[in-house]
Amino acid sequence: MQSRSKMLKKAFTTAFPYTIPIFAGFWFLGITYGIYMNVSGFSFWYPMLMSVTIFAGSIEFVTVNMLLGAFNPLQAFVMTLMINARHLFYGISMLDKFRGTGRKKFYLIFGMCDETFSINYTADIPEDVDRGWFMFFVTLLNHFYWFSGATLGGIFGSLINFNTEGLEFVMTAMFVVIFLEQWLKEKDHTSSLIGMGISILCLIACGADNFIIPAMLAILGVLTLMRHPFERKESVESKAGVNEVEDSRSEKKKVELSSFEEGGEVQ
């Protein structure tokens, strides 16, 4: 029991620092969403309940208009699919990482928003930290940040009066930072450059409102086709690195042996 509690504590303390930037962004947007719901005539428990059960910021903002309009489940389904179709690609990318996580997998799938996916997919998890619990706590903390922000916004929305224009850029800025961190970690930027190039081309061809899905499909297709060349390149670089280490050790041994022999001759 004690070892399990230590394992959970270790996973939590490792996951928490990764979520601090998300906390700032989610609280701003969550409070904004709660205020928006309040101004639209909904009680505080609407954003509170929706932030727990939906946990998809873009859809939650769109849902406000759906609730105010006529009941149309087909429209709601199509709208949700169009806005959150990118999560299909997130799920494919996380298949290997979610393997072996047990019952936690169900919550990990449910709570996989953009920010949680970015952390769980790119984080360098220490070997002494349980991978499943690390991803679980990242997901849980991010979920809590959004829930608490939306709830506070719903409760105090009628008491707060300020201009929220531009707050949505917080998440864009955060993704830029995450991308730059990943860029600095990479030795080869080919995949990142491919993603940027395809995204720009799709933006020009499809427009700002419709480029995300075509870009993700194109990126997935190109990187899938280039998977084997990338793997061969990584294998060659890995072998080259091993050979360099072995050559360095061999050279060091030769120097030590030479020094030893010279010392023996002097004596």
Asked if 220 contacts 89 with a C-beta cutoff of 8 angstroms, the reply is yes
- According to the model, what pLDDT value does residue 267 have? 47
- According to the model, what pLDDT value does residue 172 have? 66
Q: Which of 178, 222, 219, 223 is CA-nearest to residue 202?
A: 219
Please identify every stretch of the chain with a pLDDT value under 50, giving residue numbers as ranges. 266-267
Residue 155 makes CB contacts below 8 A (sequence gap 6+) with 34, 44
- According to the model, what pLDDT value does residue 257 have? 56
Token readout for 82 is: 């169009």
Question: pLDDT for 188-227, tens place per residue?
Answer: 888 889 989 998 999 999 998 788 778 878 887 888 888 7
Q: Residue 183 — left, alpha, or beta (φ > 0 → left; ψ -120 to 50 → alpha)?
A: alpha
- 69 DSSP 8-state letter: S
The ranges assigned to domains in the chain are: 2-185
- According to the model, what pLDDT value does residue 61 have? 80
Residue 209 phi/psi, 5-degree rounding, is: -85, -15
- According to the model, what pLDDT value does residue 240 have? 56
- According to the model, what pLDDT value does residue 174 have? 59
The string over 88-108, giving b where at least 16 C-beta atoms fall within 10 Å of a residue's C-beta and e elsewhere, is eebeeebeeebeebeebbeeb
Residue 130 makes CB contacts below 8 A (sequence gap 6+) with 7, 10, 11
